[in-house]
Amino acid sequence: MEKRKDGFLIDKEATAKDFIFGTRAVMESIHAGKEIDKILVQKELNNDLIKELLQCCKSEQIPVVRVPEAKLNRITRKNHQGVIAQMSSIMYASLDHIIDQCYAVGKSPLILVLDHLTDVRNFGAIARSAECAGIDAIVIPEKGSAQINSDAVKTSAGALNFIPVARVRNLFFACRDLQKMGLTLVAITEKTEKLMYSADFTAPVALIMGSEEDGISQEIMGIVDDKVKIPLSGKIESLNVSVSAGIAIYEAKRQRQNA
């Protein structure tokens, strides 16, 4: 990925399948049931066709981001007509369905919640660890999360083709729903004195990992059932989030195998 001065990320290795250009082409893709991460729409455009597109996105719960024309031009020099859809490389799953399936077969759900993690390669690495450990699903928010594109799938070594990913409109409410479905929310954070090894990961659990820069949001930290940290003995105060996720995931797996 290349990061421009304005903070916009351009995927140099992106192929044509990562994007769809043009208003009608994007609308046809929505109607055809294509999996779309988000749609970028030029800020000042507000004609009838754009209004129809926005209404379509609202009904299908597809995130829309208004951006300057310059950002669209950095993605492609084709005639994008002010609209570019960023395609997802996977099919998203229903969180309710995943939990119901776990309970139906007598399994204690183990879910990984990623709170606005934005780095594609971190996301791919986490997905790889999660799939190898048998995590039941990864939960991400619609907005402010790493795009699941070909680069993410590549970094995950193909794991994203197998592990269910649930994309939710509001991560806070999704966490509340997980609690209502019987899961314990466990925040993996350095802002506690309790070590990870003291937590009970054998019950239905949702492990919550924060973003690379801001960690877990205060909103979600306010409702978690437990907060635990990974012990550190070196001089550096924190681990990379993908490493932290791998450690937490395999501690949960260890506990469950020994239960």
Tokens of 182: 């019987």
Question: Distance between CA atoms of 255 and 242, rounded to whole angstroms?
Answer: 20
Residue 226 CB neighbours (<10 A): 18
The CATH topology of domain 95-258 is Alpha/beta knot (3.40.1280)
Q: Would you state the pLDDT for residue 142?
A: 86
Question: In degrees rounded to 5, what are phi and psi of residue 215?
Answer: 70, -155
Enumerate the domain spans of the chain.
2-87, 95-258
Question: Distance between CA atoms of 137 and 146, rounded to whole angstroms?
Answer: 16
The owner of tokens 């379509």 is 56
Q: Would you state the pLDDT for residue 175?
A: 98
Same fold, 2-87 and 95-258: no
**DSSP structure class, residue 205:** E
- The answer for residues whose C-beta is within 8 angstroms of residue 54's C-beta and 6 or more apart is 41, 64
Question: Distance between CA atoms of 220 and 45, rounded to whole angstroms?
Answer: 35
Q: Would you state the pLDDT for residue 11?
A: 41
Q: Would you state the pLDDT for residue 8?
A: 37
The owner of tokens 């084709």 is 78
Q: Would you state the pLDDT for residue 17?
A: 56
**DSSP structure class, residue 183:** P
pLDDT along the chain (259 residues), means of 10: 39 57 90 86 92 91 90 87 88 93 96 94 95 96 84 90 93 97 96 94 96 91 96 87 96 92
Cβ atoms 62, 39 nearer than 8 A = yes
Tell me if residue 2 falls in helix, strand or coil: strand
Q: Which CATH architecture has domain 2-87?
A: 2-Layer Sandwich (3.30)
